[in-house]
């Protein structure tokens, strides 16, 4: 009911859909529509195998240049891929942090050795990455981070001590990139370094965090003299902030544009349940569904405008507000789903469709927090989009 | 879908911004409101006869430029932003599409070249300006009856809110024809039995008139609609008008926000510009998001409508755009008053001009809830 396709490349879409139809079956069948946000800890082993299946079909890292093992596909085709993937119910990508974040960062800032060592296993779906940014005392204000890295003069190794938090999928990952304070006494954005570290080592302890939906997708990661090899620093010591921010810029929302297909599925499911349980007869529910539909269409066209703007230097206004809009739209959809379920929203039934809506209701609460809270988004929109005065900063 | 502007479209937009910034805007609106007609005659002449904007939506064979809904939306947005008081909307966005989509060849030849040249002010007398045209387009004709009388017709009924009805030289009246069907009739203000009463409106940018038809006798040639096209044509014309109105509302919202940003950057309290307070920054940022999303919806709907490929799908997208733009316009205007503080409540400052236009336009051609109901009827039939 919701999305008609942008007319990018129907043949490519058929190829993607055909491959998924053929491969997302058999032992991979249970993965359909699983492992998305809030469900990230579902079937980790099988999803790793699925990543390898994608790699064999050359569907991993499709936007990467060919010299690094990708297909070098242009943005519109990448989006088409993400949409077809979501449409087919492709599971949440365990390889996302490697493919979307650290891979492009290494291509831009990494040494030749780092590229040769780390990029091929990402393409092949053999090594998985976690992101070590946030800390208990450094959330929205990331520059307040305290985790320290000290160089061992005898070996050149870095020794890392401190704590990271909200580390998605650390418990099923192999490597973590860590932003740490490498200069004694430095504050703010100065004196930080960007390090690559194996997660399975004696100085690292991973403790899962149980979320409001009962799942355990995030972790606390404790570092106690954990080791990063001398050659595993990205950029120079002290350049960590620039590398860390560049990493956040690489993704540019390409995969989140594909998520609109997932949103459309969720809205369809809300309508389906509302029809079954009779709440669709309520005018207020119908209007909220229509409002949701209108917002989804608007997001789609907003994405089309953003695409037109890709390649331009500054993020345009429509791109600045995108995260804020989709996260609130999705949170509203979660509330609508719960209201449509009524009393049943509270009851654990084991019915997978109802469970999906319950998960939507609970996990969409995270949407307006992770990846920059709504409050931080509004600051950025006001300052960069409207040229309003910057927030005053307290003394560090 | 490609939402890039062509260089020609960029030119239209730039020209519109330049011209409207100079000639329209809140101060010009205040002057126009004090003039008898409610609009600036010279400004209208410049738009129609010098800039040629009235020709945009008219097919080339009738002296137009056939630019379509997307270009119209770009222009309408700028007009809303400038709070333009002009017969443009009634003539070009309402009457012209009705002739284009529902008119007979003869009617098009008679009226469209004059509209394109900026020489004819026209409007449409809908039975209810706030009414809807779905699921049955005949609803907008319910207020007027056309009784066959000799070779012609006699028209009876009332059109309580006709945009620019007191100044238009041509009033297109959708009516129910006794004995079956609906038709659109061309009526001139001088017709005997026609009473036109200008209404005093709170939104001074949008003059309305109350029109009564008491046995208005018209000839057969006054029936300007093609019976085969009239139902679908009426619906499509009103959808296009609703789209232009949505685009205007995005402009109204943008104008209200821009004026607010300028004010709060200057206004100092507690030793700092009030724009530096987070409570204010966040509200402006929220407005920017709502405006951009509504603008995206308008652009997408306009692209689809301009393609002419799927009028039914386009109709739903137009409703989505209308619902989002209506809310964005009102919210932006409401915040303009609030963020201006005390002066936002005065006649002297401009926020009330946006506020009144946002509310008035929001009620035209179906309110936000009507458009949501239309979407619901299709995407979640009970």
CATH code of residue A68:
1.10.540.10
Residue A319 confidence (pLDDT): 80
Residue A100 in any domain: the answer is no
Whole-number Å distance between alpha carbons of A326 and A68: 32
Is the backbone of residue A371 left (phi > 0), alpha (psi -120 to 50) or beta? left
Same domain, B218 and B239: no
Task: Please name which of A327, A322, A293 lies closest in space to residue A381, comparing C-alpha atoms.
Answer: A322
Q: Do residues B145 and B96 both lie within one domain?
A: no
Q: Can you give the CATH number for the domain in which B160 is found?
A: 2.40.110.10
Residues on chain B touching A321 (C-beta within 8 angstroms): 285, 288-289, 292-293
pLDDT at residue A313 in the model: 47
- Tell whether A156 and A42 lie within a shared domain: no
Measure Cα distances from B359 to A215, A253, B90, B219 in Å: 46, 36, 18, 39
Burial A137-151 (b: 16+ CB within 10 A, else e): ebbeebeebebbbbb
Q: Indicate the residue among A71, A94, A117 that finishes a domain.
A: A94
The domain of B180 spans 137-222
Question: Is position A114 within any domain?
Answer: no
* Low-confidence winner among A75-84, A129-138, A339-348, B160-169 (lowest mean pLDDT): A75-84
Same domain, A261 and A375: yes
Average pLDDT for residues A84-92, to the nearest whole number? 91
Share of chain A above pLDDT 70, in %: 93
Q: Residue A203 pLDDT more than 70?
A: yes
Q: How many domains does chain B have?
A: 3
In a domain, A301, yes or no: yes
Q: Within an 8 Å CB–CB cutoff, is residue B173 touching chain A? A: no
Asked if B278 has any chain A CB less than 8 Å from its own CB, the reply is yes
Q: Is the pLDDT of residue B58 over 70?
A: yes
Question: Both A265 and A231 in a single domain?
Answer: no
B146 and B212 part of one domain: yes
Q: Within this chain, do residues A230 and A256 fall inside the same structural domain, yes or no?
A: no
Instruction: Give which of B161, B103, B301 is closest to A297, Cα–Cα.
Output: B301
Chain A positions touching B301 (Cβ under 8 A) are 301
- A16 vs A253 pLDDT, higher one: A16
Same domain, B109 and B141: no
Per-residue exposure over A352-368, b if at least 16 CB sit within 10 Å of its own CB, e if not: eebebbbbbbbbbbbbb
Answer with the one of A237, A268, A303 that is the final residue of a domain: A237
Q: What does the pLDDT read at residue A37? A: 78
Tell me if B327 sits within 8 A of B290, measured CB to CB: yes
Q: Which of A388, A390, A392, A393 to mutate to test the interface with B (most CBs of B within 10 A)?
A: A388
pLDDT for the residue numbered A24: 96
* pLDDT attached to residue A252: 59
Same domain for B268 and B243: yes
Residue A147: which domain range?
A: 129-237
Determine the Cα–Cα distance for residues A74 and B253; give it in Å rounded to an integer. 35
pLDDT score at A8: 52
Considering the domain architecture, whether residues B319 and B345 belong to the same structural domain is answered as: yes
CATH number at residue B363: 1.20.140.10
Domain stops at, among B204, B222, B240: B222
| CA pair distance B142, B128, nearest whole angstrom | 9
Q: Does A155 touch chain B (CB under 8 A)?
A: no
Whether B316 and B178 map to the same domain: the answer is no
Considering only residues B73 and A140, tell me which one the structure prediction assigns the higher pLDDT.
Answer: B73
Which chain B residues are Cβ-neighbours of A279 within 8 angstroms? none
Distance CA A75, CA A253 (A): 11
User: What confidence score (pLDDT) does residue A94 get?
Assistant: 94
Residues forming a β-bridge with A204? A223
**To which H or E segment does residue A35 belong?**
none
Domain-embedded: residue B128? no
Element spanning A334, H or E: helix A322-341
Give yes or no: residues B321 and B356 share one domain: yes
The total number of structural domains that make up chain A? 3
Distance CA A97, CA A61 (A): 11
Whether B1 is covered by a domain: the verdict is: no
A225 and A321 fall within a common domain: no
Model-level ipTM above the cut of 0.90: yes
Q: Do B372 and A304 count as a contact with CB atoms less than 8 A apart?
A: no
Residue B2 lies in a domain: no
Distance of CA A365 to the CA centre of its chain: 15
Q: Is residue A67 in some structural domain?
A: yes
CB B312 within 8 A of CB B377: no
Quickly count: other Cβ atoms within 10 Å of residue B296's Cβ: 28
pLDDT in tens, A351-391: 989 999 999 999 999 999 988 899 999 999 999 999 999 99
Contact A336, B330 (CB under 8 A): no
Decide which of B178, B204, B222 is a domain's last residue.
Answer: B222
pLDDT of B239: 97
Tell me whether A286 touches chain B (CB under 8 Å): yes
Shortest alpha-carbon distance between residue A216 and chain B (Å): 32
Q: Answer yes or no: do B211 and B250 share one domain.
A: no
């Amino acid at each position: 009911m919701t999305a008609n396709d942008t007319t990018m490349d129907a043949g490519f879409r058929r190829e993607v859909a055909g491959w998924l139809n053929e491969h997302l079956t058999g032992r991979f069948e249970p993965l359909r529509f699983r492992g998305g946000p809030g469900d990230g800890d579902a079937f980790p082993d099988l999803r790793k195998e699925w990543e390898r299946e994608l790699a064999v079909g050359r569907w991993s890292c499709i936007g990467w240049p060919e010299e690094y093992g990708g297909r070098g596909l242009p943005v519109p085709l990448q989006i088409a891929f993400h949409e077809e993937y979501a449409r087919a119910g492709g599971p949440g990508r365990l390889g996302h942090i490697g493919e979307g974040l650290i891979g492009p960062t290494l291509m831009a800032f990494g040494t030749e050795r780092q590229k040769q060592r780390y990029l091929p296993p990402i393409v092949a779906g053999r090594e998985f990455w976690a992101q070590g940014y946030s800390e208990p005392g450094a959330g929205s204000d990331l520059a307040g981070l305290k985790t320290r890295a000290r160089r061992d003069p005898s070996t050149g190794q870095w020794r890392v001590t401190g704590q990271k938090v909200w580390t998605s999928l650390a418990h099923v990952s192999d490597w973590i990139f860590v932003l740490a304070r490498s200069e004694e006494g430095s504050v703010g954005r100065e004196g930080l370094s960007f390090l690559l570290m194996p997660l399975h080592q004696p100085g690292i302890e991973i403790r899962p965090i149980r979320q409001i939906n009962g799942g355990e997708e995030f972790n606390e990661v404790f570092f106690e003299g954990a080791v990063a090899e001398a050659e595993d620093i990205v950029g120079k010591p002290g350049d960590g902030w620039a590398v860390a921010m560049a990493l956040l810029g690489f993704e540019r929302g390409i995969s989140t544009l594909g998520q609109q297909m997932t949103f459309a599925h969720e809205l369809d499911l809300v309508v389906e349940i509302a029809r079954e349980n009779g709440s669709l007869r309520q005018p207020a529910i119908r209007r909220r569904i229509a409002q949701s539909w209108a917002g989804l269409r608007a997001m789609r066209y907003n994405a089309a405008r953003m695409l037109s703007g890709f390649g331009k230097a500054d993020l345009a206004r429509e791109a600045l507000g995108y995260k804020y809009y989709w996260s609130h739209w999705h949170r509203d959809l979660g509330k609508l789903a719960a209201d449509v379920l009524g009393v049943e929203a509270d009851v654990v039934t084991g019915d997978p469709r109802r469970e999906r809506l319950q998960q939507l209701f609970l996990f969409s609460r995270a949407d307006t927090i992770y990846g920059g809270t709504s409050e931080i988004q509004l600051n950025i929109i006001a300052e960069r989009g409207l040229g309003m005065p910057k927030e005053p900063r307290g003394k560090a | 879908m490609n939402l890039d502007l062509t260089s020609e479209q960029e030119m239209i937009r730039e020209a519109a911004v330049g011209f409207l910034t100079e000639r329209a805007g809140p101060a010009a609106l205040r002057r126009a409101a004090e003039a008898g007609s409610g609009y600036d005659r010279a400004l209208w002449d410049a738009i129609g006869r010098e800039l040629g904007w009235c020709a945009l939506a008219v097919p080339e064979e009738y002296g137009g430029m056939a630019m379509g809904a997307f270009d119209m939306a770009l222009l309408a947005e700028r007009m809303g932003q400038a709070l333009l008081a002009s017969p443009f909307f009634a003539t070009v966005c309402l009457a012209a599409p009705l002739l284009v989509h529902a008119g007979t060849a003869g009617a098009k030849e008679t009226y469209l070249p004059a509209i394109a040249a900026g020489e004819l002010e026209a409007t449409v007398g809908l039975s209810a300006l706030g009414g809807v045209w779905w699921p049955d387009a005949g609803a907008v004709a319910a207020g007027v009856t056309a009784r066959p009388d000799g070779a012609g017709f006699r028209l009876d009924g009332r059109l309580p809110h006709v945009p620019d009805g007191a100044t238009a030289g041509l009033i297109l009246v959708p009516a129910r024809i006794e004995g079956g069907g609906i038709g659109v009739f061309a009526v001139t203000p001088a017709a005997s039995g026609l009473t036109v009463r200008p209404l005093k409106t709170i939104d001074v940018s949008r003059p309305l008139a109350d029109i009564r038809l008491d046995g208005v006798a018209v000839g057969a040639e006054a029936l300007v609609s093609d019976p085969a096209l009239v139902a679908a044509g009426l619906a499509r014309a009103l959808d296009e008008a609703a789209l232009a109105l949505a685009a205007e509302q995005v402009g109204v919202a943008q104008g209200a926000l821009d004026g607010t940003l300028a004010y709060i950057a200057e206004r100092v309290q507690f030793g700092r510009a009030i724009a530096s307070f987070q409570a204010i920054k966040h509200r402006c940022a929220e407005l920017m998001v709502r405006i951009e999303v509504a603008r995206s919806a308008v652009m997408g709907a306009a692209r689809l409508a301009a393609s002419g490929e799927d009028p039914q799908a386009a109709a739903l997208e137009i409703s989505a755009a209308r619902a989002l733009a209506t809310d964005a316009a009102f919210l932006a205007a409401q915040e303009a008053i609030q963020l201006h503080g005390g002066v936002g409540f005065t006649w002297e400052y401009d926020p009330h001009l946006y506020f009144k236009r946002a509310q008035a336009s929001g009620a035209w051609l179906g309110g936000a809830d009507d458009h949501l109901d239309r979407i619901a009827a299709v995407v979640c039939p009970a």
